[in-house]
Amino acid sequence: MARNRYDMDEILEDSFDVNQLKRLAAYISPYKKKMAGVILLMLSSSASTMMIPIFLQNVMDVSIPDKDMKAIGIYSFLTLLIALYSAFALRLKIKIMSVVGQNIIYSIRTDIFKHLQELPFSYYDDRPHGKIQVRVVNYVNSLSDLLSNGIVNTFTDLCNLIFILAFMLFLDVKLTLVCLCGLPVLTVVIIFIKKKQRRAWQIQSNKQSNLNAYIAESINGIRVTQSFVRERENTGIFNFLSKNYQKSWMRAVMFNFTMGPSVDIISTVTTAFIYILGVKWILSPDSTLTVGVLIAFTAYISRFWAPINTLAGFYNSLLTAISYLERIFETIDEPVNVKDTKDAVEMPPIDGTVEFQKVSFSYEPDHKILQDISFTAKKGETYAIVGPTGAGKTTIVNLISRFYNVDSGKILIDGRDISKVTLHSLRTQMGIMMQDSFIFSGTIMDNIRYGNHTATDEEVIEAAKTVCAHDFIMEMENGYQTQVNERGSRLSAGQRQLISFARALLANPKILILDEATSSIDTETELILQKGLNSLLSGRTSFIIAHRLSTIKNADCIMYVDQGGILEKGSHEELLLKKGPYYKLYMSQYEFLK
């Protein structure tokens, strides 16, 4: 998959896929009864308001000439009642549809988030995180208007149009035909701008995504930015992206704003024609058209164009929503290529033998990172993986947890191919401490307990003691209940590592993976920690990646990885005797310390 950046637009869909609306309909479906109820309510309200011009006609043509004050009073009272009922119906509609709209949005957002939780590392490797966030938050929110008002209003307005047409035809067929002459003109306007309008909204969604990606990247990298005094350059990039967003937005809304005025112009012109022709027809000697009918008819014309205006608005929000829906469903459809196979079985309690059989792997096609790697770590053994930066050490341990699928070869745990067992049963039996010791917002207790919700406070404290984290935690204002921020910004790098370490241990794993677990910890603490660990590691198979070779000297086996393969392996003493790359690495560190 091509990598995407904040300054790269995502590929736009050319043709509109109706299936996206069908899929949206599936989210709407549970609320169709409520929506139908609201539509009926609105229809009853508009049907009653449609009586008002008829009252007007009667007042003009009958009650005023007859000086019938009682009838005028009744018509006024009925008009007031209808106005009150309409206000009540509108209020109820807003109340119900806001809840329905937000419920639908909630379901869509839940589905995206659930899917994002399952997507493999490779998905996140390939795109800026800001572009993912914008889909979950902004794009989904943008559907709010469509779902809360658009759909119900469209149905109501379509029915209104039919009612109004019926009333207009009832009043005067000729005037109705004059009024309908405006519709073909509107259709031409819609056909003319439709494609451009959709493309404009797609581009706008892209620019919004780029801007979001840059904001997320800038916030994450703010410390580096300020250290290298890059604020001005970054503001320049931001302004450029923000300007692009603004321009794309202006262009897209320009199309939207074309619709309203077009409807207004067409309605004004047809109304003018109706007045001219109406007056002319009234004045002709054999006319049946009365002043009351003409006034009532013109009252209907404005009602006739109002729903058309709303329908045009709905059409606008539909086109906007479609450009967002494309991105939302694209995320939900993103294939989870690291997942349980159909016949996947539960991994039985792991004993601990890990075997790589001719494993090859690449992140990107044609760029092999590991080539035909084979080794077997027996139950309870500590395997250290060393080698130069970028040699593939982290990649090896990521494959053991099946964060990526291998290109070829097999990884077996206790003789079982890990691609044939469920991910859940595999990963719950592993303790993984990654290079990035991510700390979540919450208490220290929560952070350590992250991988084992059922662990008691005592077990958490025990794990913290083992990794020498207990003392510094107790020195904090609320001990284990101290609140830490996302990324653990109020903790030192070493403290963050110790908390992640405790988290990995608490999962009580059969296989423990420590990727640069102690690189930020002072040597004195590391020495104490090492002692505690030795007893803890017994019985568990562990993989330790470390650049500081002093930490892995006692490993059962040390693998030196480089150039896509294992260049040598053996115990510390054996490798020193070989005088190969490990020896050179060790001597360089030894020399460095002298």
Ligand X SMILES: Nc1ncnc2c1ncn2[C@@H]1O[C@H](COP(=O)(O)OP(=O)(O)OP(=O)(O)O)[C@@H](O)[C@H]1O
Could you list the residues that contact ligand X (CB under 6 A)? 125, 363-364, 369, 387, 389-395
| 331 versus 395: smaller Cβ distance to ligand X | 395
- Contact, 187 vs 180, CB < 8 A? no
Strands 382-386 and 557-562: parallel
Q: What is the DSSP letter of 421?
A: B
Min dist CB 515 to ligand X, Å, is 7
Min dist CB 444 to ligand X, Å, is 27
Min dist CB 126 to ligand X, Å, is 8
Min dist CB 29 to ligand X, Å, is 39
- Contact, 314 vs 154, CB < 8 A? yes
| 30 versus 390: smaller Cβ distance to ligand X | 390
Reported as half-sphere exposure (CB side, CA atoms, 13 A), residue 279 has a value of 5
Min dist CB 368 to ligand X, Å, is 10
Min dist CB 121 to ligand X, Å, is 7
| 389 versus 454: smaller Cβ distance to ligand X | 389
Min dist CB 393 to ligand X, Å, is 4
Q: Give the whole-angstrom CA distance, residue 240 versus residue 246.
A: 10
| 15 versus 389: smaller Cβ distance to ligand X | 389
CB burial string 43-64: b at 16+ within 10 A, e below: bebbebbbebbbbbbbbbbebe
Which residue, 128, 151, 138, is CA-closest to 34? 151
Q: If DSSP codes are grouped into helix, strand and coil, which group holds residue 411?
A: strand
Q: Give the whole-angstrom CA distance, residue 346 versus residue 487.
A: 33
| 24 versus 396: smaller Cβ distance to ligand X | 396
| 213 versus 293: smaller Cβ distance to ligand X | 213
| 186 versus 549: smaller Cβ distance to ligand X | 549
Q: Give the whole-angstrom CA distance, residue 167 versus residue 173.
A: 10
Min dist CB 131 to ligand X, Å, is 16
- Burial class from Cβ neighbours inside 10 Å (0-12, 13-18, 19+) for residue 581 reads middle
Min dist CB 394 to ligand X, Å, is 3
| 101 versus 387: smaller Cβ distance to ligand X | 387
Q: CA Rg, the chain, in Å? A: 35
- Which residues lie closer than 8 Å to 181 by C-beta, 6 or more apart? 270, 273
Min dist CB 327 to ligand X, Å, is 23
| 256 versus 437: smaller Cβ distance to ligand X | 437
Residue 429 CA: distances (Å) to CA of 505, 508, 565: 11, 8, 27
Strand ranges inside 250-393, DSSP E: 354-364, 367-377, 382-386
| 125 versus 346: smaller Cβ distance to ligand X | 125
Strands of the sheet with 430-433, listed across from one edge: 430-433, 511-515, 541-545, 382-386, 557-562, 565-570
The continuous run of DSSP H or E covering 416 comes out as strand 416-417
